[in-house]
Amino acid sequence: MTADKILINFSQIFCPIDKDRPLKGKEMSQATIIENGYIAIKNGKILKVDSGEPEKNLVGEHTKIIDYTGKLASPGLIDCHTHLVYGGSRENEFSKKLNGVSYLDILKEGGGILSTVRSTRSASFETLYDKSKRLLDQMIIHGVTTVEAKSGYGLNWQTEKRQLDVVKELNHNHPIDLVSTFMAAHAVPPEFEGDGDAFIEMIIDEMLPKVKEENLAEFCDIFCETGVFTADQSRRLLTAAKEMGFKLRIHADEIDSIGGVDVAAEVGAISAEHLMAATDDGIKKMSESNVIGNLLPGTTFSLMANTYAPAKKMLDAGMAITLSTDSNPGSCPTSNIQFIMQLGCFKMQLTPIQVFNAVTINAAYSVGLGNSIGSFKEGKIADIAIWDAPNVDYPLYFFATNLVQDVYKHGELVSK
Ligand code: NIG
Ligand code: FE
C-alpha cells in the first residue's frame, strides 16, 4: 500500500502565529512552541501540526512515519533580500576595506557594484546560471526554501534580462522557490555617468515595460543612497513601476538617511531594506504605513561598521521586521542565513523567537507569499527546516555552525 500521508515527529516545533499579515511589534515575541509534536503532510501541504497521540486516520497503513526525535522543526527559511546572480567576485576590495576605504568611495572610483557590473556583462547565461545555482545549493543546506533574487548588475537591458532569465530558469530547476525583483536602478552605469535622471527615465520608458511584458519580475527595487539615486528619482521610478503593476521594495537608509523611507511610505512599498541609518521619524512613518523593515545585519558586519539597524526601536514602534542575507559579492558575500539570524541576536538584541518569526512568517509576507508559506498553518506548503537542535534557542546560541540537518520542500526531502 503506498502512503499518501507523511507524519514526522519532532522534539520541538516552532510554529509562527499566522494572522494573515506580518507580525508587528510585540506580536513578534510570540509563537506557538509545540513540545514532542508531529507535522502531518498530504500532497506536499500541511495537514496538521499538533502534540500527543495523532488521530487514527493519521497513522494507518497509508501514512509514512518519520522520526526526528531530539530535533527542532521550523518552517523553511525565507531569504527575502539577495543579489543572487552576478559574475566574478570582489575579494580584491577586501584589503582596501581593511585599510579603511569606505564602500561608497570604492564605488566612486568605479569599483564596487560597477566592478561586478563589468564581470556580469561579460559572463554568459551558463556561467551566471552555474554560479547562482551553487549559491542556492549552499543556501538550501542552511535551511532556506525560498529566496528573493534581484537583478541590478547589468544596468543595460541585455544583461538585466540575462540575470532575470537565470532566476526564471533556476526557479524551474532548483528546489528553492525564487521571487524575482527587477533592480536596474542599482547604480548609474558608465553610459549615463553624471545623469542619473536620464537613466531612470530610460528604465521607466524602456526596461520596465519589457520586464512586465515578459513577466520577468514581480517586484521593482532601487538603491536610494548618497551618490547613487536620490529620493526624487526613487519616487519617480517606484511610482511608474506601481502603475505598471509591480510590487515595490526600496534600499533605504543603508548608509545615509536621504528620504528613501519617506518614499517607501508614500508609494506603499511592501518593504524598506537595510535601514542601518533609520531615524525615529522614519521608523514612525514605516510603522504607520505598514512598511516592513527588512534588516541585513550581515551587511553591517561585512562593511565593518557598527551601525546595526535599530531593530528593538522598530519593534517598540510597532513595526514588522524581517532579516535576510543581502547575499552579494560586495557588501555581504555570504550564503548563510543562520549567521544573519545570529547577528540579529548578538548585535541587535533580538530574541530567538523574534528572529525565527523574522525569517519565516514575516519574510513570507515581504515576498508576497504569506498565504502559501512561512508558517505551519493547515493548507500551506510543507517547507520544513529540521535542526540538529533540541529547541528554538539552541541554533541562535550555538553560532557560526550549520545546524540544519535536513530540509523538506513541498513535503519532499530535498537536502540531507
Ligand atoms: O544591498 N546596497 C546596494 N546593493 C547591495 C550591494 C551590492 C554590491 O556591493 O555589489 C546591498 O548592499
Ligand atoms: Fe541589497
What domains can you pick out in the chain, each with its CATH number? 5-76+374-415 (2.30.40.10), 77-366 (3.20.20.140)
Pocket of ligand 1 (CB under 6 A): 83, 112-113, 116, 223, 251, 254, 299, 326, 328-331
pLDDT score at 287 = 98
State the cell numbers at 80. Answer: 527575502
Q: Which ligand is nearest to the CA of 254?
A: 1
Annotated binding site: 81, 83, 90, 153, 186, 251, 254, 326, 328, 330-331
Mean of pLDDT over the chain: 97
- Give Cα 247 to chain centroid, integer Å: 15
Residue with cell 502534540: 51
| Ligand 1 atom closest to Cα of residue 225 | 2
| Other Cβ atoms closer than 10 A to 17 | 14
Give the residues of the chain that fall short of pLDDT 70.
Answer: 1
Compute the distance from residue 254 Cα to the ligand 2 centre, in Å. Answer: 9
Instruction: Report the distance separating Cα 352 and Cα 390, nearest Å.
Output: 13
pLDDT score at 59 = 86
Compute the distance from residue 102 Cα to the ligand 1 centre, in Å. Answer: 13
Residue with cell 549559491: 135
Nearest to 359 by CA among 141, 154, 145, 211: 145
In this structure, the residue with its CA closest to atom 12 of ligand 1 is: 331
Annotated binding site for N-formimidoyl-L-glutamate: 153, 328, 330
Q: ipTM beyond 0.85?
A: yes
Give per-residue pLDDT as tens, 324-347.
999 999 999 999 999 999 999 999
What single string gives the DSSP state of each residue in 133-199? Answer: HHHHHHHHHTTEEEEEEE--S--SHHHHHHHHHHHHHHHHHSSSEEEEEEEEETS--GGGTT-HHHH
Whether the CB-CB separation of 403 and 70 falls below 8 Å is answered with: no
pLDDT score at 163 = 98
Compute the distance from residue 406 Cα to the ligand 1 centre, in Å. Answer: 30
Q: Which ligand is nearest to the CA of 120?
A: 1
Residue burial 177-216, b: 16+ Cβ < 10 Å; e: rest: bbbbbbbbbbbbbeebeeebeebbbbbbeebbeebbeeeb
Residue in 148, 326, 334 to alter for ligand 1 test, most ligand atoms within 8 A of Cβ: 326
Compute the distance from residue 330 Cα to the ligand 1 centre, in Å. Answer: 6
Using CA atoms, how far residue 40 sits from 4, 46, 63, 68, in Å, is: 11, 6, 9, 13
Compute the distance from residue 274 Cα to the ligand 1 centre, in Å. Answer: 10
Using CA atoms, how far residue 385 sits from 39, 290, 319, 407, in Å, is: 12, 28, 26, 5
| Ligand 1 atom closest to Cα of residue 103 | 9
User: pTM for this structure?
Assistant: 0.97
Give per-residue pLDDT as tens, 71-106.
999 999 999 999 999 999 999 999 999 999 998 888
Annotated binding site for 4-imidazolone-5-propanoate: 90, 153, 186, 254, 331
Cross-strand partners of 66: 8
Compute the distance from residue 175 Cα to the ligand 1 centre, in Å. Answer: 26
Instruction: Report the distance separating Cα 319 and Cα 288, nearest Å.
Output: 8
